[in-house]
Amino acid sequence: MSILPALVGSGAAIVTIAVAVILMRHLNRAPSKAHPWLRRLAIILMYAAGSVIAASGAASFLSGMAGTAAAWAGGQWAPLITTGVVIAALVLFTGTAVAFIWAPDDHAAVTALFVPLALGLVSGGVLHELYVATTIPGQQVAAALHAWLAG
């Protein structure tokens, strides 16, 4: 399965990404006191869209690409590759969480789109449990937004 049909197949993710992008583009029209809260909303929407993408066929496609790239470095689950994946997922999640709490911005919202995909590549431990715990609510948020907007 290629990545394009997997993305097109998940209409909830596309609608949620579009809403978050429109929100970020027109943020300057809102009162300045609302900017941090609207940016936090954009981060939540992008994370929800990333959760839908991570649970779709796109995640298996990206996991296959990561496995192919890792095979060149000595195996998919070689200790160095596993450590790199865990560190990357930890850095992405921590950076997004810190930005969500203290300094929300548009870059954190775009990064939040890729956090569930990175967490999905971690095969076990706390980060994988975090992925499992946040993917289902993220999918429900994106599906509810899609149903509300598109009917």
Average pLDDT of the chain?
Answer: 84
Question: What's the pLDDT at 55?
Answer: 79
DSSP 8-state code for residue 123: -
What residues have CB less than 8 Å from 130, skipping those under 6 apart? Answer: 93, 119
Is residue 11 exposed (0-12), middle (13-18) or buried (19+ Cβ within 10 Å)? middle
Report how far apart, in Å, the C-alpha atoms of 106 and of each of 54, 73, 113 are: 21, 34, 11
Would you say residue 77 has pLDDT above 70? no
User: pTM value?
Assistant: 0.84
DSSP 8-state code for residue 105: -
Mean pLDDT, residues 92-110 taken together: 94
Question: What's the pLDDT at 87?
Answer: 93
Q: What is the pLDDT of residues 1-22, one digit of tens each?
A: 455 655 555 778 888 999 999 9
